[in-house]
Amino acid sequence: MIRRAAALLAAAALAAGTAGCGSAGGAGEGKTLTVFAAASLKAPFTTLARSFEASHPGTKVTLSFAGSSDLATQLGQGAPADVFASADPANMAKVTGAGLAEGSPRNFASNTLTIAVPPANPAGITSFADLARPGTRVVVCAPQVPCGAAAVAVEGKTGVRLAPVSEESSVTDVLGKVASGEADAGLVYVTDVKGAAGKVKGVPFRESAAAVNTYPITALRGGRNKDLAGVFLDEVTGAEGQKVLADAGFGRP
Amino acid sequence: MTFTLDAVVADRGLDVSLNLGAAETVAILGPNGAGKSTLLSVIAGLIRPDSGTAALDGRPLFHLGGGRVVWTPPHRRGTALLAQEALLFPHLTALDNVAFGPRSAGAGRAAARDAAARWLAEVEATDLAGRRPGELSGGQAQRVAVARALAADPGLLLLDEPMAALDVHAAPLLRRLLKRVLAGRRAIIVTHDVLDAYMLSDTVVVLEAGQIVEQGPTREVLTRPRSRFAAGLAGLNLVPGTVTAAGLLPDPADGGPGGPGAPGAQAAADGPAAAGTELAGRHEDTPVPGQAGVAAFPPSAVSVFPDLPHGSPRNAFAVTVTDLEPHGDQIRVRAGDLAADITPAASADLSLAPGVRAYFVVKAAAVSIYPA
Amino acid sequence: MRRPGGRRHGYSGIPRWVAALAVVAAAFILLPLAAVVARVDWPNFLPLVTSDASLTALGLSLRTAAGSTALCILLGVPLALVLARGEFHGQRLLRSFVLLPLVLPPVVGGIALLYTFGRQGLLGRGLEVAGIQIAFSTTAVVLAQTFVALPFLVVSLEGALRAGGQRYEAVAATLGARPGTVLRRVTLPLVLPGLASGAVLSFARSLGEFGATLTFAGSLQGITRTLPLEIYLQRETDADAAVALSLLLVAVAVIVVGVSYRGPGTPPAMPSRAPSRTPDAEPAEARR
């Protein structure tokens, strides 16, 4: 009898403990801003967060980087955050459509595609058409992902059909396969090449203008620090934020 | 055409030499741990000895420890092993089990099954052919195992206590079967049971602590044993000593050969009533005084007295009882290495119990003396 | 001899608190499953799982899992035999290393395979020259699955071989059977239950393999995009499709494992000491 009670108690304690761990650590007093941002924004947003903390003493910015679609899903499941920055309008639409946004989203940056090749460029890629050469191993993002949708748009505009050997679910995987030399070329963002610091070489192509990804940002209704969120948004869309984004390779919104 | 073996397995203390003729069966007797099973494993090729040579029908089995190394793996030796447990392959029927040997030798399935059927008939187990080993009793399984071993047409059959796991009904049946099939075959049978030796073997080898202590024709060893173990098997009391004109001078108890005396402090006090007293007995052979010999007498010829009887003290042993056990309708009184069979009434009259001191007395006419 | 199915309610000897914890454990596995089932968009379920991409992915998963299970058997049986029955230096070390794929995160396994078989890899370099390209191919998927699934088969089979002992093999050898014959007619038939359960475990692991496949083989419909990879992709745009496909994968796994997994089974039958159904027949010669 006692043993059974002890077992049930233990099970309950375990459940309660993990539930406690499950809640996001954002139960902070003082000012903590939780920002969900697309993975490609990692470098510029980290810089912006540090400068924001410096200029607003007593605040702390918690950053969470992941694929825009994953973030949108988490927000839909009730994850607590103050700000959401998406890599494309489609994923932002999921959030606004669910009534989670505070006010309307603002566009703050854009990103264009570029061809990434291993530093030595063994296959001698110089243009988008070269990617369709038989025997060339090209890796792209899958159409379901923002960078993949952009690639499909470029294909449509140029009329060049690609036959990739792999359609990855994240730009990081594309970059990885090019950097390791497995692929001759990959289609990634300009910002990814810049962030790769020499592991890949970028080959820009003029048709990239045909598919530009616009990045929207919004404050969230479920956030605890709406005022602070507004300030952060101003920072991002303001002069200093735009400079940081441009340094990272992003284009104007 | 013979089988010869010389082998040493150092970490088991085994050092043995054996010879067998074409149709000879040898029984290997010995206490537990003597190395009997090790010996069979060495012959079968399952254990590699440290040094030695063996050959069967002119084919070398192994040659190790000096000069070129020869080692024939078990499946090419022509020796088949039958153990206490039948070890029939559980996933094959009895018939397919027996057919295993011929199939392994290259026979086709039908030919192998025919041979198997013949061998099953030979061991009178034809009706078991379609059964799985799990459906057979111990005795039935052993019979099929015998057929399986013989179907492999071995030049030397090795049997490791085949009757040991069988009950009192199955054992005699298997013994009779073996007697029939071993006639005309070369075989080595390891056993604890002296009845196996009597019925099945031509010669007997006694193994103790890895060494051969006695060997010879079966009847000879078992009726005139020279080692304690064989004497124990044969149910005889054995006293080693030196032959004299009138009988035998027993070796001093604490220095005598042939096995441990009674435990503890009693050892010095046991033995003939007066130190240096001769044992009177019948000489089996022409006595050669001074030669080493043994005196043997059955427990049934021994009388037990509480005190030294009046008159001649010859053939009297002062003993301390160590054990009492029923033996048929008699009581066997054990005192160290000696035993006496007396009636239960006598045992009660004498108030015998372990630790009690008594005297074993035996008539000269019942004592056989022969050279060791 | 034990008869299956003839169960009587006797005494199981399981303490009550152990039974309670077992219920918690079962719930831990079954509740997430129930949560997925509850989330499925049932009206759309059939169209979602029978779409072109889904069926292609399912077919590829089943084919590659079958292929890698076959490869696991081909490579795993000798390895298990050597580990269970061999005697050589470094045996214990080898046994530990065989477990490596179990410990490595699958993505790390994929990276390691890439460094071996990729274009610039240890072996891949030579293979490229010979015109054999492994990365981005279905072969790569099979290799990735075999890498992660092999330990299951080896560990399962090695356990069964050790439990069985070597007595039957010794007898077979003394009856004149060569080592190859002993393996074929004695060892393998006796250890078949252990081999089968190991194979089922390998198949199940192959079916669910994701990380190593993604890193080493890439993701292309019909060539390398197995069902787990398809689910990962669908998650980006169509959560309903992802849930439906997840349930499909679970259903396939449950069917395969439920039908074929019997557990490691009992060791080869111990010599029968039990009295048989018919009494020991007395041959005619017993009558005197």
Q: From CA B225, how far away is CA B214, in angstroms rounded?
A: 8
- Answer yes or no: do C286 and B140 touch at CB < 8 A: no
Q: Mean pLDDT throughout A171-198?
A: 88
CB of C41 within 8 A of CB of C244?
Answer: yes
Chains A and B: 3 or more CB pairs within 8 Å of each other: no
Chain C residues within 8 A of B103 when measuring between CB atoms = 185
Query: Mean pLDDT lowest for which of B195-199, B263-267, C195-199?
Result: B263-267
The residues, any chain, with a CB within 8 Å of residue B70's CB and separated by 6 or more, are B60, B62, B63, B64
The answer to whether residue C220 neighbours chain A at the CB level (below 8 Å) is: yes
Using CA atoms, how far apart are residues C29 and C27, in angstroms rounded to an integer?
Answer: 5
Among C21, C114, C236, whose Cβ lies nearest the Cβ of A182? C114
**Are B279 and B247 a contacting pair, CB within 8 Å?**
yes
The answer on pLDDT for A190 being more than 80 is yes
Q: Does a structural domain hold residue C17?
A: no
| Model pLDDT, residue C18 | 95
Cβ-nearest to A167 among C20, C219, C237? C219
Quote the mean pLDDT of chain C.
Answer: 86
Give the integer Cα–Cα distance in Å for A41 and A32: 20
What is the 3-state secondary structure of chain A? CHHHHHHHHHHHHHHHHHHHHHCCCCCCCCEEEEEEEEHHHHHHHHHHHHHHHHHCCCEEEEEEEECHHHHHHHHHCCCCCCEEECCCHHHHHHHHHCCCEEEEEEEEEEEEEEEEECCCCCCCCCCCHHHHCCCCCEEEECCCCHHHHHHHHHHHHHCCCCCCCEEECCHHHHHHHHHCCCCCEEEEEHHHHHHCCCCCEEECCHHHHHCEEEEEEEEECCCCCHHHHHHHHHHHHCHHHHHHHHHHCCECC
The pLDDT score that the predictor gives to residue A24 is 45
Amino acid present at B222: L
Residue A173's closest CA among C65, C113, C213? C213
Whether C237 sits inside 8 A of A69 (CB atoms) is yes
Query: What's the CATH class of domain B235-371?
Result: mainly beta
pLDDT tens digit string along A48-66? Answer: 999 999 988 888 999 999 8
Provide the residue type at A126 as one letter.
T
Taking the C-alpha atoms of residue A237 and residue B290, their distance in angstroms, rounded to an integer, is 124
Q: What is the pLDDT of residue C279?
A: 45
In a domain, C221, yes or no: yes
pLDDT in tens, B322-336: 989 898 899 999 988
Q: Quick check: C158 pLDDT over 90?
A: yes
B225-245: average pLDDT: 85
As a whole-number percent, the residues of chain A with pLDDT over 90 amount to: 29
Please tell me which chains touch C, using 3 or more CB pairs under 8 Å as the contact test.
A, B
104-143 in chain C: CB under 8 A from chain A: 114, 118-120, 135-136
How high is the pLDDT of residue A5?
62
Of the options 3.40.109.10, 3.40.50.720, 3.40.50.300, 3.40.50.150, the CATH number for the domain spanning B3-223: 3.40.50.300
Question: Which of C272, C277, C285 is the mutation pick for testing B, counting most B CBs within 10 A?
Answer: C272
% of chain C at pLDDT higher than 90: 51
Among B residues 180-199, those touching chain C with beta carbons less than 8 Å apart: none
CA distance C164 to A41: 60
Whether the predicted pLDDT of C269 surpasses 60: no
Residue A11: pLDDT over 80:
no
Tens-place pLDDT, residues B242-293:
888 888 888 876 433 333 333 333 344 455 544 457 888 888 778 888 888 8
Domains identified in chain C, total number: 1
Q: What pLDDT is attached to residue C225? A: 92
- pLDDT per residue as tens digits for the range C55-84: 999 999 999 999 999 999 999 999 999 999
Q: How confident is the model at residue A4 (pLDDT cuts 50, 70, 90)?
A: low
Q: What is the mean pLDDT of chain A?
A: 85
Question: Sorting pLDDT into bands at 50, 70 and 90, what band is C265?
Answer: low
Give the number of B-C residue pairs with CB atoms closer than 8 Å. Answer: 104
**Assigned superfamily of A30-110+215-248:** Periplasmic binding protein-like II (3.40.190.10)
Residue C283 has pLDDT above 60, yes or no: no
H or E, element range at C156 = helix C138-164
What is the Cα–Cα distance from A48 to A32, expressed in whole angstroms?
15
B67-80 residue pLDDT tens:
788 999 999 998 99
pLDDT exceeds cutoff 80 at C108: yes
Q: Domain boundaries in chain A?
A: 30-110+215-248, 111-212
Radius of gyration of chain A (CA): 21
What would the mean pLDDT of A173-181 be, rounded to a whole number? 88
Mutate to test the interface with B, among C2, C85, C169, C171 (most CBs of B within 10 A): C171
- Please give the pLDDT value at position A12: 59
The order of strands in the sheet holding B323-327 is: B323-327, B330-335, B338-342
Residue boundaries of the structural domains of chain B: 3-223, 235-371
Query: In the prediction, which pLDDT does A1 show?
Result: 61
On whether any CB of chain C is under 8 Å from the CB of A126, the answer is no
C262 — pLDDT class (breaks 50, 70, 90): confident
Looking at the predicted structure, is the pLDDT value of residue C27 above 90? yes
The neighbour count for residue B243, using CB atoms within 10 Å, is 23
Helix ranges restricted to H, chain B: 36-44, 94-104, 109-122, 138-151, 170-182, 194-200, 218-223, 228-234, 344-350
Q: How confident is the model at residue B311 (pLDDT cuts 50, 70, 90)?
A: low
| pLDDT, mean of residues A54-79 | 89
Q: Quick check: C281 pLDDT over 60?
A: no
| Neighbouring chains to B with at least 3 Cβ pairs closer than 8 Å | C
A11 to chain C: which residues are within 8 Å by CB? 20-21, 24
pLDDT at A170 over 90: no
**8 Å CB contact of C280 and B44:** no
pLDDT value at A70 more than 90: no
CA distance C201 to chain A (A): 28
Which among C15, C21, C233 is the nearest to A144, CB-wise?
A: C233
ipTM above 0.90, yes or no: no
Q: pLDDT tens for residues B12-32?
A: 888 999 988 888 999 999 888
Q: How confident is the model over A79-97, as a mean pLDDT?
A: 90
Report the pLDDT averaged over residues A213-232.
88
For B231-277, the DSSP string reads HHHHT-EEEEEEE-SSEEEEPPTTT-SSS--SSGGGGGG-EESSTTP
Query: For B43-60, how does the pLDDT look when each residue is reduced to its tens digit (9 = 90+)?
Result: 999 988 998 999 998 888
What is the average pLDDT across B334-356?
A: 89
Least confident interval from B221-230, B344-353, C5-14:
C5-14
pLDDT greater at residue C262 or residue C97: C97
Residue C280 inside a domain? The answer is no
C-beta atoms of C280 and B74 within 8 A:
no
H/E stretch holding C79: helix C52-85
Evaluate whether residue C115 is within a structural domain: yes
Tell me whether residue C283 is in a domain.
Answer: no
Domain ranges, residue C88: 42-264
The reply to whether domains A30-110+215-248 and A111-212 share a CATH topology is yes
Give the pLDDT confidence score for residue B220 in this predicted structure.
Answer: 86
What gap in Å lies between CA B143 and CA B173, rounded to an integer? 9
Average pLDDT of the residues in A124-135: 88
- According to the model, what pLDDT value does residue A26 have? 43
Kindly determine whether residue B89 and residue C167, on different chains, have CB atoms separated by under 8 Å.
Answer: no
Report the SS3 class of residue B180.
Answer: helix
**Architecture in CATH of A111-212:** 3-Layer(aba) Sandwich (3.40)
Q: Which residues of B touch C187 (CB under 8 A)?
A: none
In this complex, the chains that touch A, judged by 3 or more CB pairs closer than 8 A, are C
Which residues on neighbouring strands pair with residue B54, listed in sequence order? B5, B62
